[in-house]
Amino acid sequence: MDVEKLMEQQLLQATNVIESQIDRELQRLETLDEDDIEVLRQRRLDALKKHASQKQEWISQGHGVYNEITAEKEFFDVCKKSHKVVCHFYRDSTFRCKIVDKHLGILAKQHVESRFIKLSVDEAPFLVERLKIKVLPTIALLKDSKVKDYIIGFDDLGGIDEFTTEMLEWRIARAEVIDYQGDILNAPDSAPAASSKKLNFVGSSGKKTIRGKDDDSDSD
């Protein structure tokens, strides 16, 4: 038997299994009486009420908005209270941090299940050292008070300043720090990375920059 015929048989078998499952589900639904339907309706209502209650609790904890914290202690308090946290480590003078601010402000409203915050590296020397933050902007993605991943600079976002909010959303979702309904395996954007970008470094005595050969106008 050649490969093509084998694949056809496997596909046919899979189709038959799916059809059988659908048939069984249709038969089950057809045999439901009014009491069964009422039970299903009540379960649905209970789930909606639970979700609404959870959402209200998140909002009371500061979810739903992108705001700034001003102290390292506040960072630890946020991580204790919130199961999922997206924290942008920034510096005012770094232009690309402002680009991140714009996108995170949008995502905070869309993903109430996660807490979105920003913290100046100048106000957090201990965290900068402990989390080994060396490039700005850096987004730390935390779950249960543990760092799951970092988004460092824009390389993971297509290597361009003009990446979309959807691209950043997808990248955050890969760390399972937000609930995501899209295709987690494939990025929503396919723009080519720029060949020359500047990296902004954090150092104990300030910051320094590494420039691409074509980048002679962008400065912090």
Q: Where are the beta strands (DSSP E) in the chain?
A: 66-68, 84-90, 115-120, 135-136, 138-143, 146-152, 199-203, 206-210
User: Which residues make beta-bridge pairs with 209?
Assistant: 200
pLDDT tens-digit series, residues 57-114: 888 899 999 999 999 999 999 999 999 999 999 999 999 999 999 999 999 999 999 9
- Residue spans of the domains in the chain: they are 3-57, 64-210
Burial of residue 157 (CB within 10 Å: 0-12, 13-18, 19+) is buried
Q: Where are the alpha helices (DSSP H) in 64-164?
A: 72-81, 95-110, 125-130
pLDDT over 80 (residue 153): yes
pLDDT over 90 (residue 201): no
pLDDT value at residue 220: 34
pLDDT tens-digit series, residues 174-191: 999 999 999 999 999 654
The rounded distance, in Å, linking the Cα atoms of 129 and 180 is 31
pLDDT value at residue 218: 34
With respect to CATH, is domain 64-210 assigned 3.40.30.10? yes
